[in-house]
Amino acid sequence: MEFRWDVVIDAMPQMLAGAQLTAYITLLGIGGGLVIGTLCGLILAFRFPVINWIAFAYVSVIRGTPIVVQAMFIYFALPMALDITLSGFAAASICLAMNAGAYITEIVRGAVLSIDKGQTDAGLALGLSYPQVLLHIVGPLAFRRTIPPLGNQFIISLKDSALFLVIGVAELAQRGEQLTAQTGRALEIWTAVAVFYLIMTFTLAMVMRAIERRMRIL
């Protein structure tokens, strides 16, 4: 079958719009996931009473269910239960943030627990309070160790955004599906979609690699 470049060129405006929406959803999801994951990770690492179990339950539920099911629940079931209206974009962003947050929780928890307890003892011996030790000693060391696995999670979240076509979000994969139906040229459309995802994931990987070098992570 001949590869028709004109099909790709004609479809480019819609694909760019889909890629832009994918980037927005991913950025919001990653941002929300970082906030949720950092808080829950610290809660689990330091075993705060009561809320430790809430954080554990959250992580268990999210990690134990597929993201497609989570998206369908947030978009269809949750608005019915709470009598609210959610757009596909809002539902996708919330879903990705909650999903990423559960995995980032374990990344943060593991990084904090990997820091030698002697570091904490040394800080306390110098007269620092426990929050100061966390902020100035444990925190920076743990942050460096989170960067490589965080980069991996960010890329996974970017690719997971393609699953939101099930709730009608017009991101890149949904645009690809629509364009294939319109043109009947699956080869050209899905090749272009794959290239767009490769460009975005490669760019994200290079940004994280630059941060790793900046932080001098071996």
Whole-angstrom distance, CA of residue 122 vs CA of residue 133: 9
Tokens 């959803």: give the residue. 25
Return the percentage of the chain with pLDDT > 70, whole number. 98
**Domain locations along the chain:** 23-171
| Residue from 45, 10, 56 nearest 145 by CA | 45
Render pLDDT for 180-216 as a digit per residue (tens, 0 to 9). 999 989 999 999 999 999 999 999 999 999 988 887 6
Q: What is the pLDDT of residue 155?
A: 96
User: What's residue 24's pLDDT?
Assistant: 96
Confidence band (pLDDT; 50, 70, 90) for 140?
A: confident
Determine the average pLDDT of the residues in 67-76. 96
- Say what the pLDDT of residue 2 is: 84
**What is the CATH T-level fold of the domain 23-171, as seen in this structure?**
MetI-like fold (1.10.3720)
Burial of 32 (0-12, 13-18, 19+ CB in 10 A): buried
Helices 5-46 and 172-183 meet at what angle, rounded to 10?
150
Q: Residue 218 pLDDT more than 50?
A: no
> Alpha helix (H) ranges present in the chain?
5-46, 51-63, 67-72, 78-82, 88-114, 117-125, 130-133, 139-160, 172-183, 186-214
Taking residues 85-96, what's their average pLDDT? 95
